[in-house]
Structure 1
Amino acid sequence: MANPAIECVNVSYHYGNVEVLKNVTFTVEENEFLGILGPNGGGKTTLLKL
């Protein structure tokens, strides 16, 4: 298996007492595309900023 271009393992994030990401895990290999879909306020931008 090739080295991943992006790898997140058990990523969690809180804004104060509000948990916006909980145990997010994924791998993107070279030459793969990733789409992030979800509702407004679902943590998509927060994930990308991390």
Structure 2
Amino acid sequence: MIAYVDGRSYIKQFEHTERTCQLISLNRKYAPIEVQDNPSFQIKGIVIGTLSN
């Protein structure tokens, strides 16, 4: 998904459990971003494919 959090845009996977909502990167180098209680969190779109050259 394409998400907006604290003035920044991200392309991440969204994970929702009973305890938390977070954005997860496919690259494990990046830590999850907690968004459950963040009023600036917005879903801007869904990624449906990729382009490569």
Structure 2-normalised TM-score?
0.24
Structure 1 or 2: more strand by fraction:
1
Higher radius of gyration, 1 or 2: 1
Greater helix proportion: 1
Return the TM-score normalized by structure 1.
0.24
Greater relative CO (CA pairs within 8 A, separation 6+): 2
